[in-house]
Chain A
Amino acid sequence: MTKGSGITLDRVSRNFDSRGRRVEALREVSLACPPGSLTALIGPSGCGKSTILRLCLGLDTPSSGSLALNGLSPADATRAGMTGVAFQDAALLPWRSVQANVALPLDVLGHSVSAHASKIAELLDLVGLKGFEKSLPGELSGGMRQRVAIARALVTAPEVLFLDEPFGALDQILRRQMNIELQRIWMETGATTLLVTHGIDEAVFLADRIIVMASRPGRIAKIIDVDLPRPRDRSMFGDPRFHALEREIAEALDGH
């Protein structure tokens, strides 16, 4: 059940001029993520992955080029409650309980929090935080905070979902579990998803398509389609096709 045209970037550049130096965070990046697809962004640190997300969310504006979410400008799309986001850094409000942090997007959009109470409970259960509803962020571990951020990203049932290294602080086992859960959620909701990750295996496991980026200037180095069958399960991590794709990405990252 998806409408619109997904995420599109058309020759987007973003330069930062600060303290007399220019950083080309992005140069002429064009990208189309079809509706309902899951696209992974992978690349060296500082190649502009987070910048792409910030541009898509209207937190920043491109120096040139244009972008659209389901045909709408980022500002309109976010205001319409179409998007969900989990930042690289959990960015929880330290004075709100876990539950209230998850509810934050509802507060921003003016949706009723009480009407979503069961949804919030369900999401917290999903990310394994049942029993921590009333805790404050300061009382959680780094990985737990990140899971709160993931639950928060899903609370609005977004049509377009942005995830910036959402599992970065999780251990390998939990990470795999969350990968499988994310795939299930994604398949259920059909959200057009852009996932930033440093994990090659994670990218291959989850994505329909992997964008390998290079830095200085930030640009797309290679696009790799993943046509492994869905739903993918744990055994997929041992599949020879999986390994071949991993090798291809590793080489692209090395600049081949």
Chain B
Amino acid sequence: MATDRMPGWVRGLLYTLALLVLWEGVGQLRLVAGGALPPPTAIALRLFADWADYPNHILATIQGASIGFVIGNAIALAAGVLFVLFPVTSRVARGLNVAIYALPPIAISPILVLTLSGMAPRVVLAAIGCYFVTMTATVVGLSQTDARAVDVVKAYGGSKWAVLRLVQWRSALPSILSGLRIAAPNAVLGAILAEFGGGGRWGLGVYLLGSLGRGEPDRLWGIGLMATAIAAFAYLAFAVAANAITGTTQAVTVPSSVAKAADRDRPVWQNATIAAASVALPFGVWMLLIWALGVPAMLAKSPAGLFEYLFLMPNSPVAQERLLAALAQTLPMTLIGMVAGLAMALGLALASQIYPAIVRAFMPIALVTQTMPLVALTPLLVLMLGRGYSLILWVTISVTFFPAFVTMAQGLILVPRAALEVPRAYGAGILTQLRLVSLPASLPYLFAATRLTVPRALLGVMIAEWLATGTGLGNLLNQSRGYLDYGMIWTVAVVSVLISVAFYQIVVVVEHRVLDRLGMASTN
């Protein structure tokens, strides 16, 4: 076949073009949901007609997203370095880290808009969207450094700092860049979600919200695609940088072991103290923030206030009952969605090793699902899938699979050449190579991906429940916003964080067991 000789990107482009043509046909014939999916040409025409509106909205969103991106990532990098240099800090901060990651933006954006002013809510949500991803990528990259290279520096009396400066940061760079790659769309999404919360006249989120009621799918799609284009541009910039860096400098031989921080043999009381500190820290920061921002107690519940709301008030039993009913609906879907998202990510990551071109063609769609605000996609999804469980599942997969995919693909790419050459030398096919070398070698990344997925799965389910199905925690949150029931808003936010942290801890325990047995270092 002639296509075999084309460079990969040409083939990728062809697939993308084929998809666009297909979309055009489907759109023109109004095959999907009675026209909820307009053809690309209609979207383009509408975009052209609306063009005068765009620049201010785009600028506002980019401004919020990029300030948040810079701040969030600066904090994330510093924190990642700190966690690797002093492993105790990472254990103390674990609760806080996971809590930040698991904060449901839908739940906090109204609170942020009420308590902060101007650009601040957008910047904060964009920064929060970046922090965990980049911090994790930094820790993964720094701690997966080749132990032999670390030895060379230490053999000359090099300190932790010297190792960091001369070996670790550079070998972590690909990982950090792949973190920034995911963080970029997250920042855009965070800014847009904050714009939904209200406040401010400009921003693609404001524009989208304003256009939502009018039932003009072509304009919604135009705005969504514009947001996507901004995020895709940021994503691609980091992808190109990462490629340039990993290309020539991949490790030639297999690192026999990764540098490992000896941090296991502590007395029990120390471990207990660390664990307690890890649990206490998020609560401490929570109270500190409320105090520092001077938010009225009616709006901002402290831990004590929340306890009162849930257990001591006359209405408490009702509140508890509503909460438990919602949990019973949300938790099973979260688990299923998480497994489905991970399976899809793994499947795609493996496929990307076997058929790189197909994945390249798929990437734009994957990116759309990341940045195309779910608010814009949901009407379409509802029309296509109804307001049932399959909708929840798809929304959950679409928010979970992407970070998981990027992390797993990263792990697969970083498998050293020489390690793959051993089975290849015995005539192993690509599947055998994947099974014998790539999968085991990238196991730490698989676990890292699972950890990334846990809180997002819950978030996805809640978004779907809020926007479409009217069930579970997401709906409870939405109702409470309507009734200005701040106690319940805070309860849902805190409970969702607690669930995420619990899931996360379970993954961490399994991960340590498995990796210990295999003599590999965790990326945690």
Contacts and interface: CB of A to CB of B under 8 A. Distances in A.
Task: Tell me whether A and B are bound partners.
Answer: yes
Interface of A: 18-19, 54, 57-59, 75, 78-81, 83, 85, 87, 89, 91-95, 104-105, 107-109, 136-139, 145, 152, 156
Given A75-B157, A78-B157, A91 B252 contact: no
B251 A94 contact: yes
Contacts of A108: 153, 156-158, 162, 166
Contacts of B171: 93, 95
B249 A95 contact: yes
A138 B249 contact: yes
B155 A57 contact: yes
A89 B150 CA distance: 13
Contacts of A80: 157
16 contacts: A18-B519, A57-B154, A59-B154, A79-B157, A81-B157, A85-B155, A91-B149, A94-B249, A94-B250, A95-B171, A95-B249, A104-B156, A107-B162, A107-B166, A138-B249, A139-B248
The 6 closest A-B CB pairs, nearest first, are A79-B157, A78-B157, A91-B148, A95-B249, A108-B156, A108-B158
B151 A138 contact: no
A136 B155 contact: no
Nearest to B154: A59
Nearest to A106: B156
A57 B167 CA distance: 18
Given A93-B167, A108-B166, A138-B252, A83 B151 contact: no
- Kindly name the residue among B154, B245, B256 whose own CB sees the greatest number of chain A CB atoms within 10 A: B154
A75 B158 CA distance: 10
Nearest to A53: B155
B384 interface: no
Given A78-B154, A104-B166, 15 more contacts: A18-B519, A58-B155, A58-B157, A59-B151, A78-B155, A85-B152, A93-B171, A94-B249, A94-B251, A104-B152, A107-B162, A108-B153, A108-B162, A109-B157, A139-B248
A83 B253 contact: no
A35 B512 CA distance: 47
Question: Main secondary structure on chain B at its contact with chain A?
Answer: helix
A137 B156 contact: no
Nearest to B416: A94
- Kindly name the residue among A91, A136, A152 whose own CB sees the greatest number of chain B CB atoms within 10 A: A91
A87 B157 contact: no
Contacts of B252: 94, 137-138, 145
A83 B249 contact: no
A108 B151 CA distance: 12
A19 B518 CA distance: 10
B250 A138 contact: yes
Given A79-B157, A104-B153, A87 B148 contact: yes
Contacts, number: 79
A133 B154 CA distance: 24
Range of interface residues on B (Cβ < 8 Å): 20 to 34
B253 A89 contact: yes
Contacts of A78: 154-157
Interface string B242-284: 0001001111110010000000000000000000000000000
B170 A109 contact: no
B156 A109 contact: yes
A143 to B, nearest CB: 13
Contact of B517 (A19, A85, A104): A19
B240 to A, nearest CB: 17
A109 B165 CA distance: 13
B170 A93 contact: yes
A220 to B, nearest CB: 23
Contact of B156 (A95, A105, A138, A145): A105
A91 B149 CA distance: 5
A59 B154 CA distance: 7
Contacts of A85: 152, 155-156
Contacts of B152: 85, 87, 91, 93, 104-105, 152
Interface in B210-264: 245, 248-253, 256
A138 B248 contact: yes
Given A95-B170, A136-B249, A81 B149 contact: no
A93 B152 CA distance: 10
Contacts of B519: 18-19
A95 B166 CA distance: 11
B161 to A, nearest CB: 10
A58 B155 CA distance: 7
Given A94-B249, A138-B248, A156 B156 contact: yes
- Kindly name the residue among B156, B158, B249, B517 whose own CB sees the greatest number of chain A CB atoms within 10 A: B156
A88 B157 CA distance: 19
Interface in B145-181: 146, 148-149, 151-158, 162, 166-167, 170-171
Nearest to A156: B156
Contacts of A18: 519
- Kindly name the residue among A58, A94, A139 whose own CB sees the greatest number of chain B CB atoms within 10 A: A94
Contacts of B251: 94
Interface in B389-425: none
A56 to B, nearest CB: 9
A180 to B, nearest CB: 26
